[in-house]
């Protein structure tokens, strides 16, 4: 079949729209007509980060749509189901069986290498392969091939343009709070970088964390964080006071937990230094190859620095959990979203990069 995709033809190039050939679903696959896809920083990063030989490529990993076809071996998903699509996992390796879905032993191949496990691709153009299968979906397209392990069936009454980002960004930020840090009402949390992921973390913490500090350079995003009850810290406005000292002052000696979404090495170091005794920093941002730490501070104060994939979430459990919290008014993130026609993808990238919007959602 033919479908239209937003494609990156070369490393660092902009997205363009082309009609390409697409495989029908195999026995273990699901064909989804995409209604909306969240635009994530990872999509922007990967089009410049991947090597030249991995292009042309179709990205997109926060898809939401309607199931049009189901492979013979697929269970639990039916034609007509409304779905949110998330990351893939094999569900059979030791890590998956232990509940560590984001750390699946086949994660690299299933999510990042641009092809199926057998080396074939779901998209092609004039007989030439197009890399896809990004997070087992490549949902910057009118149609995507997905799988039972990364398709979450949702209530058909839900607006798919509002819930597409639950497939990655929202569950990553919220998961870092709810699954990893698990703060108590008397705890404090500092979030460095309050884009969509950071604000999702703050929204998840807003119901039960005593002190939340939001650190960012963009006043517009700090204003949103303040609406959730966070205390805004703009490093550009601190004068001679350091970010570390200001966060420690606000949290009574250092935060119990912290989340970094910036991937800026200097910010990560500050986040670690601003932790309290036995505090824990969760790194979510993609892009930093290395970052410095104060080794003596870490050791003497029992601090923990750790990464997290998707906020240690299993999408099949976490997406419904967050949607239930949303329905109860305990995860209020709808106002973070701004819809764009899919053809305006490059405008959406510019707007989210300069801070004009928090979370673009691309709609066919």
Query: Which residues fall within 8 angstroms of residue 10, CB to CB, at 6 or more apart?
Result: 52, 55, 56
pLDDT at 335: 96
CATH class of domain segment(s) 172-309: alpha beta
**8-state DSSP, 76:** S
Contact 233, 249 (CB under 8 A): no
pLDDT at 286: 81
Rounded CA-CA distance 8/59 in Å is: 8
Distances (CA, A) of 118 to 93, 115, 148, 217, 245: 18, 8, 18, 45, 53
Contact 312, 102 (CB under 8 A): yes
Question: Hey, where are the domains in the chain?
Answer: 2-167+333-363, 172-309
The beta strand positions in the chain, using DSSP E, are 2-7, 16-22, 29-38, 63-70, 82-85, 123-125, 128-130, 143-147, 151-154, 188-192, 211-215, 231-233, 255-260, 275-283, 304-307, 337-341, 359-363
Residue 189 backbone phi and psi in degrees, to 5: -135, 130
Query: Which residues fall within 8 angstroms of residue 354, CB to CB, at 6 or more apart?
Result: none
pLDDT at 207: 81
HSE-up of 259 (CA within 13 Å, CB side)?
A: 36
Q: What is the pTM of this model?
A: 0.96
The alpha carbon of 347 is separated from its chain's Cα centroid by a whole number of angstroms, namely: 20
Query: Which residues fall within 8 angstroms of residue 359, CB to CB, at 6 or more apart?
Result: 38, 39, 165, 169, 195, 196, 333, 336, 337, 338, 352
Rounded CA-CA distance 39/352 in Å is: 9
Classified by CATH at the fold level, domain 2-167+333-363 comes out as Quinone Oxidoreductase; Chain A, domain 1 (3.90.180)
Mean pLDDT by 10 residues, the chain (364 residues): 97 96 96 98 92 97 98 97 98 96 97 96 96 98 97 98 98 98 97 98 94 97 96 96 97 98 96 98 89 94 97 98 97 97 97 95 97
pLDDT at 312: 98
Tens-digit pLDDT profile for residues 66-114: 999 999 999 999 999 999 999 999 999 999 999 999 999 999 999 999 9
pLDDT at 133: 97
Residue with tokens 């750790």: 306
Distances (CA, A) of 54 to 130, 136, 314: 9, 16, 28
Q: Which helix (H) or strand (E) holds 66?
A: strand 63-70
Rounded CA-CA distance 152/168 in Å is: 12
pLDDT at 232: 98
pLDDT at 91: 96
């Amino acid at each position: 079949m033919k479908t239209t995709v937003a494609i990156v033809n070369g490393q660092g190039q902009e997205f363009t729209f082309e009609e390409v050939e697409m495989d029908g679903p195999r026995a273990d696959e699901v064909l989804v007509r995409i209604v909306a896809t969240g635009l994530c920083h990872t999509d922007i990063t990967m089009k410049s980060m991947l090597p030249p030989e991995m292009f042309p490529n179709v990205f997109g990993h926060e898809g939401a749509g309607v199931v049009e076809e189901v492979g013979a071996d697929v269970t639990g998903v039916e034609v007509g189901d409304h779905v949110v699509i998330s990351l893939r996992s094999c569900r059979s390796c030791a890590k998956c069986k232990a509940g560590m879905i984001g750390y699946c032993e086949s994660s690299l191949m299933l999510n990042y290498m641009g092809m199926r496990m057998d080396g074939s691709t779901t998209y092609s153009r004039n007989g030439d392969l197009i890399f896809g299968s990004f997070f087992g979906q490549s949902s910057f397209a009118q149609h995507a091939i997905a799988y039972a392990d990364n398709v979450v069936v949702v209530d058909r009454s839900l607006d798919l343009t509002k819930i597409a980002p639950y497939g990655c960004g929202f569950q990553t930020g919220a998961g870092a709070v709810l699954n990893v840090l698990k703060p108590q009402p008397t705890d404090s949390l500092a979030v460095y970088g309050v884009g969509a992921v950071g604000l999702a973390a703050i929204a998840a913490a807003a119901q039960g964390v005593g002190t939340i500090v939001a650190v960012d350079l963009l006043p517009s995003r700090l204003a949103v964080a303040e609406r959730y009850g966070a205390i805004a810290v703009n490093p550009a406005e601190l004068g001679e006071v350091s970010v570390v000292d200001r966060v420690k002052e606000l949290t009574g000696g250092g935060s119990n937990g912290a989340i970094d979404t910036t991937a800026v090495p200097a910010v990560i170091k500050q986040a670690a230094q601003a932790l309290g005794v036995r505090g824990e920093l969760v790194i979510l941002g993609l892009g930093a190859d290395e970052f410095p730490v104060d080794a003596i501070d870490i050791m003497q104060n029992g601090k923990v620095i750790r990464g997290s994939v998707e906020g240690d979430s299993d999408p099949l459990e976490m997406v419904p959990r967050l949607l239930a919290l949303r329905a109860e008014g305990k995860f209020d993130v709808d106002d973070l979203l701004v819809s764009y026609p899919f053809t305006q993808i490059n405008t959406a990238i510019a707007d989210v990069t300069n801070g004009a919007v928090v979370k673009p959602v691309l709609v066919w």
